Amino acid sequence: MPTPAGPAKERWILEIVRGLEPGRAFEPRSGENVLGNALAGASGLDLSGQEPAASPRRMAARQACVILSGGGLSIRDLDSPGGTFVNRQRLFTGQARPLQPGDLIQLGGVQLEVRRVAASTPSATPSPSPSPPSPRTRAQPAPPPPRPTAGGALPAAFTMGGATCRTWDDFLPLAAQRWGQLRDALTSGQLTDYLRRIGRPDLLPSIVPGGDPDEQLDAWLGRLPASQPGEPELDVHPAAIVVRAPAGGGTIRQTLRVTNVGFRLLRSQVSVEAPGTPGVGLARPRIRVAPGIGGGPFATIDQTDVPIEIDLPEEPSRGGTTETLGAVIVRSNGGVRRIEVRAERPPRAEVIPATYPAASPLASHAATAATLVRPMGDRLASQPPARRVAVAAIAFMIFRGLVLASGLLPTILGAGSTLGHWSELRLAGMTIVLGAAGAVVGAGVALRGRRGDGSTVGDVLPMGFAGAILGVFAAAIGFALIQCVELPLGGWASSSAAVICLWGVLGAAIGLLSLIVVPASSVPSSPSMEPTR
């Protein structure tokens, strides 16, 4: 049973005036009552069955909260996306507003009227739903509570497609929800027969043969003795148009949705406004409206899509990355909306000037290497074929000779008896010998950079250290390569002379291969490109 509230002889009622069941009333309980379309078990009024499927405004699962306390009724928005409106004024989130009889609450596409009725009035539909009736007697629908006489009660209810009108005010939400059905009732004569039956020939609709039925219905709604103003209301989406402007400009198409959230026919006209000159059109506007709509007024029952074309500039304005192209103005008998059109361009990449700090030792070494070493391909192409083959063969023979020499290290140190013959392959010895050879070569490269004034282009120690590191890498790679080449030869590879000759042949083969990869150049190398001695 709902908890009685307010004076002993009065109670609060929330009645649907715009929804799928106009005239249905709910009685809030004492305390908080959540309003929404998916309460998930919370105490309140579930309005999911009242919201029209085609309504542009959608109700949230938990839209608002009605509080009944101390005989007074108030409402608070629950941070809903579309907002909660009382008498067409949007509520601030978290702010409770007292309600008075006659206030109109807008929740998505549903409107509730706040009423206060006598306690003797038959109970309205409570929330949650009342318990089912006794199986012995068939449940009878409760008669609706008496409506105020301000709008004028009808002598007999008007029924159409399951909807019932008991006052003249009921025709307004009925027209908003079922405009097409009410228009058919007007053109078919159903409304005329009803008005004659209740003795109101003064309200007979003026039906003009060949006239617009929508205009005739709108004119008839304007003559009704309703207590509330039945006026259209304009809503436009989006509130602003922001487009991405590609390089080089172009033309894009957008759509404005003009929606009628009021009760009667909305008449609108769309125009274009140039940027910075309100009320003045462009000779060659960047914004154009579709000819069928932009040429004159149009009527909207529920919603109308307005196509527009936007010409984007080829170059951005000096004002920055966002440029105002103009505005679309929608003027109607339900209000005026100004939709600004802006073009956004991605910000240009900022060019940071290169800075050249003072040369560091590491940079000096890199500069030395770049100065002393020419591109390998150019140097290789400048060498005659015979020299390439000879140098490659000698280099491979020297490499294998150093590897053989690395086997003498254990013998020199007196450990030959424990480590085997000196010609055996040993990675430790190879690392020491090739690392030392690399250090010598690196130091020699640094010394070759000596200038005429006696100063040294590169430091000997850093270059020698770099050469030693390269020698260590060469030892690791050479160790694996020697095992792959010489291991299949078996005992024949035990002869040092044979092994050195084998590597000389391999070097010559690689020199010949280089002639195919990098053909010899017919232009001899320029003496000016040689390093300074």
pLDDT band at 74 (very low <50, low <70, confident <90, very high): very high
Q: Return the higher-pLDDT residue of 485 and 191.
A: 191
Cα separation, 473 vs 482, whole angstroms:
14
Q: Which backbone phi and psi does 512 adopt, to 5 degrees?
A: -65, -40
Q: Which amino acid is at 272?
A: V
Contact 438, 470 (CB under 8 A): yes
pLDDT for the residue 123: 47
- Report DSSP letters for 310-357, one per residue: EEEPSS--TT-SEEEEEEEEEEETTEEEEEEEEEE-PPPPP-PPP--P
pLDDT score of 520 more than 90: no
**Secondary structure of 377-414 in HEC code, one letter for each residue:** HHHHHCCCHHHHHHHHHHHHHHHHHHHHHHCHHHHHCC
Sheet with 89-90: strands ordered across:
89-90, 84-86, 104-107, 110-118, 10-18, 25-27, 125-126
pLDDT band at 298 (very low <50, low <70, confident <90, very high): confident
Cα separation, 5 vs 277, whole angstroms:
58
Q: Are strands 10-18 and 25-27 parallel, antiparallel or unpaired?
A: antiparallel
Query: CATH 2.60.200.20 in the chain, residues?
Result: 10-126
Query: CATH 2.60.40.10 in the chain, residues?
Result: 234-344
Q: Which residues pair with 308 in a beta bridge?
A: 254, 289
pLDDT for the residue 280: 44
Mind listing the pLDDT tens digit for each residue in 15-44? Answer: 988 888 888 888 888 888 888 887 776 778
DSSP secondary structure code for residue 196 in this structure: H
Mean predicted confidence (pLDDT) in 326-353? 79
pLDDT score of 399 more than 80: no
pLDDT for the residue 316: 57
Mean predicted confidence (pLDDT) in 375-381? 63
Which CATH number is associated with domain 10-126? 2.60.200.20
Which residues are CB-neighbours of 383 under 8 A, at least 6 positions away? 391, 520
Cα separation, 3 vs 15, whole angstroms:
18
pLDDT band at 114 (very low <50, low <70, confident <90, very high): very high
Report the candidate in 39, 44, 78 with the shortest Cα–Cα distance to residue 61: 39
Cα separation, 307 vs 294, whole angstroms:
9
Mean pLDDT of the chain: 74
Mind listing the pLDDT tens digit for each residue in 217-265? Answer: 888 888 888 877 778 888 888 888 888 777 666 788 888 888 888 888 8
Question: Collapsing DSSP states into helix, strand and coil, what is residue 153?
Answer: strand
Neighbours of 13 (CB within 10 A): 22
pLDDT band at 380 (very low <50, low <70, confident <90, very high): low
Does the pTM surpass 0.75? The reply is no
Contact 118, 135 (CB under 8 A): no
CB contact burial 62-81 (16+ within 10 A = b; e otherwise): bbbbbbbeeeebebbbbebe
Q: Are strands 287-289 and 335-344 parallel, antiparallel or unpaired?
A: unpaired
| Torsion angle defined by CA atoms of residues 200, 201, 204 and 209, in that order, rounded to the nearest 10 degrees | 160
Contact 25, 125 (CB under 8 A): yes
User: Which residues of 108-237 form beta strands (DSSP E)?
Assistant: 110-118, 125-126, 153-160, 163-167, 234-237
Q: Are strands 335-344 and 240-244 parallel, antiparallel or unpaired?
A: parallel
pLDDT for the residue 132: 42
Match 């228009």 to its residue by tokens.
Answer: 183
pLDDT band at 147 (very low <50, low <70, confident <90, very high): very low
Tokens of 266: 């909305």
Q: Express the helix, strand and coil content of the chain in percent, nearest 5 each.
A: 35, 25, 40
Contact 64, 35 (CB under 8 A): yes
Topology of 234-344 in CATH?
A: Immunoglobulin-like (2.60.40)
Lowest mean pLDDT of 134-148, 243-257, 294-308, name the range: 134-148
Mind listing the pLDDT tens digit for each residue in 80-109? Answer: 877 888 988 888 877 889 999 989 998 888
Ramachandran category for residue 324: left, alpha or beta (phi over 0 → left; psi -120 to 50 → alpha): beta
pLDDT for the residue 346: 65
Alpha helices in 228-313 (DSSP H): 291-294
